[in-house]
């Protein structure tokens, strides 16, 4: 039976990608498309690419109605907004996949520090499962609240986790990431105005991006080591894509073949990780897909790993649907190939 | 009296930028525009932007004629081609500013290793001065052969040199660089075909770029330390610009203020270095200029420095003219502001 | 039963798009992927985005083998190359969908004039059906040779045909088109080198593009009028997308509502035409889809129509698969939504 | 003696370009940089590219002070704002070059219709000279109020005026224009958000752009004919540049050579018009220059003309400085080559 899907935040970029994926999904159907706006625009007037594909008007947020019609609700709203809805949805026995940052950090104080906002639903933090299927598939299967990973953390954790977990590299590393402009969302800002973002590279939030604690938390918790990440993101003039180049210090005499064997061990069966060895690839090779591509080399001083994802797919909506597939027993790749 | 300028390689990207700068230069005039081609096209048909500005036909390479008409010759030809002309030009008492890599490395064996070509003019290697005015202005003033720095080395050395020289950071560091596509030159390649380069980030020559030994040589020679650079360049979808994010390990308890003081000490009087403190800026803020912008921060673990240049100006033709200005006693900034 | 598909020219841009669409197609399977190259590369090394999706090596072109394994063959080769294979394939009772220009013009002399090459398979010209389903669906259903339309003609004919056929506008009109760079194919050229194509608009083949006679032929033949098109294409700095703005002289007192009624009459049931009225839309709203969006307005002097397509999908591979769906009795939209 | 220049609206895109040009200008100096903002930011914090080049803080708008310090004031403010300042500046005997649309139309009613705002300084409309030097140089020389042309009208009028004036073509024509995104200014809008504008072409204000009456007025007034323009602008994903393709109906038997002779007659001595004959060129060939490039061809049915300008230079700030040069007796090209 088709999973009935509600989306809160259907008018944002994540909303658009969720709708596009779910329209192609064989085992799910869109049941409730809600917006935080006071208006109720046609979905296809907000997202002109959906003309003829989605004829609905956006609905207001009414948790009773959403719960009645949906088996699962995706939250595509800004952080701090998601936790307004999560408790009510869980109480109504609807599963929730939250694409915001609100349930990614286990510690409410850390959340408050990085997001400048008190966490108002601390009680559900422990209940939330971090939705990175390559590591947490078993927990996701049982979850009723999934905290969908951030785009940068997805790229960084998938490249770092196996190497740190297996002790091939030291637990402190550098991640230099480059992101397309959709990563900054639909909100108009000076930095994302076309004439400002085009023809330019911009390092930002250097050593101070709110995704750093997410990487540290998840990697430390899963590897049992005290992980430290020096993370610097850069805005580059393209729509989509994240590339993260990571610099690790080898522990012991690990070389490129050890790295290869470790990635093989962890990811050989993973449907959305592609191992490229020393063939470093372009972000465009993962654009509009749910893949995370990984390439690596070993130099005299470092193990260098590059990961690429589409920030809106594997970094957001695609991974969210992947999580839904796991939670509802659908084929893991349904709607995503 | 105006300096008479010859250019060998007038039809490439460096040739175009040299011509544009020199047309605006108050103390120089174009005297001989030569091409390696067997044709003699109109310069303005090769570079349509020069229509009405440059009415000359490209000339064949005749060292006697070039020497007769020129005080200085810029070589905008591929590496391994430059050393065909340098000995003959020097013998004819013409000063040479070589934009290729042929005279940047002091050691012919290192050259051969990285450029896959024997060095055929070893005798002049020692004579060549590395044309980075912020460090070598005195030597440039007396030089008759200047090896104009590579674009990546310009960005990396300017950010690293003061910190390593003053002992604020350790001599081994990481440089993660992003370059616009003009950096790959005018030669048609699959990687620079618009539909392949657009909407994508590509790490390439990871840990193995031919500009690494240039960085190591110059930094080691000038700081007296055994410098090691882990260098990874990335192609990003824009015309121009290089951004290099460098990760240093602090030596002693150096903090952001120490870094600021050191950059101030070295660059306060430099006309083409702009210190931005913790205001990380965009490559577009140096586009079409000869500036190198430097920003920095200190985290718990690293001193992080970001430098930005226009790869075709400070990274090539602009710096070449800056060197000419120094060699011929013109105002350092003439033609470049 | 799944339609078995061969592709000759699997390594080009059309080949890539065909493979991606057919991998998602529920009623077809890839049976033979051939290249004109003397090498037999892995498909996923030529198209890195297909890693993990397509593990085949490209095969040599052996018509016997192709015919044995395939129900239909897509030709994604350059014009003049397609007619080398068509006769042999038809003789072997394989249906052919030719994405080149070789069978689009009915008159061999016209072909020779515009493509500078004699037509060597004149006998099959009459047999070819022009593969624009919105007009020729009935003929396509019975065809064994489909000439898949050019990208520009698709955009122009879909906008012009109903208005001229119904006598709302005069038969001579202007079409000013803008295309992304993939329209120029995978072949490296100076005009499509990233630093030349980026940040620029270029009108080219002004009034002399080889797609003009195709528009004229099809429109004249289907409307019974002597159609004249003044066609000027422009290259714009994006990957994909064609926008054609057409300027018609109204015949009689036709206004925007008449235009709307006419488009409704012709396209209301068409799955891949979306009528936008006066809401002129962006090419990005059809990117990666098989839609043709149409918007229009009427001014004092003109009926102005804008059509948008993805040049690689509705303008090539998508429409080719749409034709296959019709020829083999599959759902018209299979693989294309 | 250097002309003292004030700028009202120094923080916008036109302000930035004016400052950059005037910093290189040998006969002018910046005297007063004002902003409508209530803040007084450093110019170099608003325009980071000016760091080290302009150390001033933006000043408040005080007409007495501006008049005291300036010989001429450039208005780089939005339309309807300019006419707040013009009367006061003229009263204080300062010359004014207005980059807004406020004084371009002679008829206050037409202005009100197209700009949805009453004209509050009708008295000065007749006094304003339209600042297109190729046509109005004599009037500009004597003017104290120059209405600097719009970007689209500059491109269209320069291509159309000679042909219509000399009777080579009919007075009704079509202009299909493509503009980079800076043409929409610095104001944040959904259409100019990078992820919306990138990878797309958008026709907008089809047949209803406020620059149409400006084209019609100027062309009718200067040719004595009743000119009609069907004008459709398109947004394309690049920073700068306008290309206008114009379709004229030949009057009499005029051919490409007649067109060439006419353009020669009108523009042979013009320093900023470059005639390219049938070599249609790219907007990038005029980027960052004050040139207008013109190419043309004649087909069976039309004379087709393509003009290219940099919308921020010849289409705004460059032409404004050109006007200043004429008004103050400087070399016409000073600061602009």
Listed in sequence order, the DSSP H helices in chain D are: 13-23, 43-46, 63-69, 82-91, 108-115, 133-142, 151-165, 194-197, 212-223, 256-267, 318-327
Span C105-112, average pLDDT: 96
Query: Between 3.30.360.10, 1.10.10.2840, 1.20.1250.20, 3.40.50.720, what CATH number should domain D152-311 receive?
Result: 3.30.360.10
Q: Are the beta carbons of D230 and C287 separated by less than 8 Å?
A: no
Q: Are the beta carbons of C297 and D196 separated by less than 8 Å?
A: no
Whether pLDDT at C1 is above 90: no
pLDDT at B253: 82
pLDDT at A11: 96
Domain boundaries for CATH 3.40.50.720 within chain B:
3-127
Using a CB-CB cut-off of 8 Å, the residues of chain B touching D337 are: 23-24, 53
Of B23, B274, B284, the CB nearest to D51: B274
Mean of the per-residue pLDDT values for chain D? 97
Of D23, D53, D337, the CB nearest to B24: D337
Whether pLDDT at B299 is above 90: yes
| Cβ pairs C/D, distance under 8 A | 146
| Cβ pairs B/C, distance under 8 A | 52
pLDDT in tens, C40-97: 999 999 999 999 999 999 999 999 999 999 999 999 999 999 999 999 999 999 999 9
Span A274-281, average pLDDT: 95
Q: Are the beta carbons of C48 and A288 separated by less than 8 Å?
A: no
User: Would you say A315 and A290 are in contact if contact means Cβ atoms under 8 Å apart?
Assistant: no
Using a CB-CB cut-off of 8 Å, the residues of chain C touching B190 are: 188
Q: By 3-state DSSP, what share of chain A in percent is helix, strand and coil, each rounded to 5?
A: 35, 20, 40
Using a CB-CB cut-off of 8 Å, the residues of chain D touching C277 are: none
Whether pLDDT at A50 is above 90: yes
Which residues of D are designated catalytic?
A: 151
- Secondary structure of C194-252 in the HEC alphabet? HHHHCCCCEECCCCCCCCHHHHHHHHHHHHCCCCEEEEEEEECCCCCCEEEEEEEEECC
pLDDT in tens, D261-313: 999 999 999 999 999 999 998 999 999 999 999 999 999 999 999 999 999 99
Q: Please enumerate in sequence order all residues whose Cβ is within 8 A of that of C107, keeping only pairs 6 or more positions apart, or say none.
A: C125, C217
**Selection from A222, A137, A235 nearest residue A184 by Cα:** A235
Q: Put the strands of the sheet holding B273-275 in their side by side order.
A: B202-203, B228-235, B169-179, B242-250, B303-309, B292-298, B273-275
Instruction: Measure B62 CA to nearest chain D CA, in Å.
Output: 30
Whether pLDDT at B72 is above 90: yes
Residue of A nearest to C309 (CA): A49
pLDDT in tens, B182-201: 999 999 999 999 999 999 99
Q: At A202, give phi and psi (nearest 5°).
A: -130, 115
User: Would you say A65 and A1 are in contact if contact means Cβ atoms under 8 Å apart?
Assistant: no
pLDDT in tens, B215-258: 999 999 999 999 999 999 999 999 999 999 999 999 988 899 99
Using a CB-CB cut-off of 8 Å, the residues of chain B touching D22 are: none
Whether pLDDT at A254 is above 90: no
Whether pLDDT at C256 is above 90: yes
Residue of C nearest to D196 (CA): C284
Q: Chain C interface, mutation test: which of B191, B193, B203, most C Cβ atoms within 10 Å?
A: B193
Of C23, C279, C285, the CB nearest to A49: C285
Mean of the per-residue pLDDT values for chain A? 97
Whether pLDDT at A281 is above 90: no
| Rounded Cα gap, residues B136 and B133, in angstroms | 5
Instruction: Measure A114 CA to nearest chain D CA, in Å.
Output: 26
Instruction: Measure A12 CA to nearest chain D CA, in Å.
Output: 12
Instruction: Measure A236 CA to nearest chain D CA, in Å.
Output: 11
pLDDT at B122: 97
Whether pLDDT at B164 is above 90: yes
Residue of A nearest to C334 (CA): A24
* Count of positions (residues) in chain A: 337
pLDDT in tens, C263-297: 999 999 999 999 999 999 899 999 999 999 999 99
Per DSSP bridges, beta strands D95-98 and A303-309 are unpaired
Using a CB-CB cut-off of 8 Å, the residues of chain A touching D239 are: 194-195, 198-199
Cβ-in-10-Å burial (0-12, 13-18, 19+) of D102 comes to: buried
pLDDT at A252: 82
D254 band by pLDDT with thresholds 50, 70 and 90: confident
pLDDT at C109: 97
Q: Are the beta carbons of C282 and D245 separated by less than 8 Å?
A: no
Whether pLDDT at C253 is above 90: no
Assembly ipTM: 0.97
Q: Chain A interface, mutation test: which of C48, C197, C275, C333, most A Cβ atoms within 10 Å?
A: C48
pLDDT at A271: 98
What value does the CA radius of gyration of chain C take, rounded to a whole number of Å?
19
Mean of the per-residue pLDDT values for chain B? 97
Using a CB-CB cut-off of 8 Å, the residues of chain D touching C302 are: 174, 207, 230
Whether pLDDT at D40 is above 90: yes
pLDDT at A102: 98
Q: Are the beta carbons of A234 and B247 separated by less than 8 Å?
A: no
Q: Kindly list the partner chains of chain C, i.e. chains with 3 or more CB atom pairs below 8 Å.
A: A, B, D
C217 band by pLDDT with thresholds 50, 70 and 90: very high
Residue of A nearest to B242 (CA): A201
Of C23, C24, C285, the CB nearest to A48: C285
Q: Are the beta carbons of A243 and B287 separated by less than 8 Å?
A: no
Listed in sequence order, the DSSP H helices in chain B are: 13-23, 43-46, 63-69, 82-91, 108-115, 133-142, 151-165, 194-197, 212-223, 256-267, 318-327
Using a CB-CB cut-off of 8 Å, the residues of chain B touching C310 are: none
pLDDT in tens, A148-193: 999 999 999 999 999 999 999 999 999 999 999 999 999 999 999 9
B207 band by pLDDT with thresholds 50, 70 and 90: confident
Domain boundaries for CATH 3.30.360.10 within chain A:
152-311
Using a CB-CB cut-off of 8 Å, the residues of chain C touching D287 are: 199-200
Instruction: Measure D229 CA to nearest chain C CA, in Å.
Output: 9
| Rounded Cα gap, residues C327 and C317, in angstroms | 15
Using a CB-CB cut-off of 8 Å, the residues of chain A touching C199 are: 199
DSSP string, C105-127: -S-HHHHHHHHSS--S-GGGTTT
B152 band by pLDDT with thresholds 50, 70 and 90: very high
Per DSSP bridges, beta strands B303-309 and B292-298 are antiparallel
| Rounded Cα gap, residues C252 and D39, in angstroms | 59
D3-127: what CATH class?
Answer: alpha beta
Among B66, B86, B151, B316, the active-site one is B151
| Rounded Cα gap, residues A13 and B51, in angstroms | 45
D1 band by pLDDT with thresholds 50, 70 and 90: confident
Active site residue C54: no
Q: Is the pTM of this model over 0.80?
A: yes
Q: Kindly list the partner chains of chain D, i.e. chains with 3 or more CB atom pairs below 8 Å.
A: A, B, C
Q: In DSSP terms, which residues pair with A304 in a beta bridge?
A: A247, A297
Q: Are the beta carbons of C23 and A289 separated by less than 8 Å?
A: no
C252 band by pLDDT with thresholds 50, 70 and 90: confident
Whether pLDDT at D253 is above 90: no
């Amino acid at each position: 039976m088709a999973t009935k899907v509600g989306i809160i935040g259907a008018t944002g970029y994540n909303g658009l990608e969720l709708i596009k994926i779910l329209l192609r999904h064989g085992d799910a159907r869109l049941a409730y498309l809600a917006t935080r706006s006071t208006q109720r625009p046609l979905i296809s007037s907000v997202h002109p690419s959906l003309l003829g594909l989605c004829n609905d008007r956006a609905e207001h947020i009414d948790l009773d109605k959403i719960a009645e019609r949906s088996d699962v609700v995706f939250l595509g709203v800004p952080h701090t907004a998601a936790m307004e809805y999560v408790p009510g949805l869980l109480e109504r026995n609807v599963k929730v996949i939250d694409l915001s940052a609100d349930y990614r950090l286990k510690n409410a104080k850390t959340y408050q520090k990085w997001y400048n906002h008190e966490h108002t639903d601390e009680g559900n933090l422990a209940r939330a499962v971090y939705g990175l299927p390559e590591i947490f598939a078993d927990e996701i299967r049982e979850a009723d609240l999934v905290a969908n990973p951030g785009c940068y953390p997805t790229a960084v954790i998938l490249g770092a986790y196996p190497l740190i977990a297996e002790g091939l590299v030291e637990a402190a590393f550098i991640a230099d990431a480059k992101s397309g402009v959709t990563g900054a969302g639909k909100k108009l800002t000076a930095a994302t105005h076309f004439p400002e973002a085009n023809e330019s590279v911009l390092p930002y939030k250097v050593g101070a991006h709110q995704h750093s604690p997410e990487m540290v938390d998840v990697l430390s918790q899963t590897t049992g080591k005290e992980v430290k990440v020096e993370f610097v993101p850069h805005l580059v003039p393209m729509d989509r894509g994240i590339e993260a180049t990571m610099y690790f210090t080898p522990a012991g005499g690990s070389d490129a073949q050890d790295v290869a064997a470790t990635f093989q061990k962890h990811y050989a069966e993973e449907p959305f990780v592609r191992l490229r060895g020393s063939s470093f690839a372009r972000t465009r090779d993962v654009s509009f897909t749910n893949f995370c591509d990984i390439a690596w080399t070993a130099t005299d001083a470092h193990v260098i790993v590059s990961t690429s994802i589409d920030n809106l797919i594997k970094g957001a909506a695609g991974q969210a649907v992947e999580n839904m597939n796991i939670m509802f027993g659908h084929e893991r790749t349904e709607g995503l190939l």
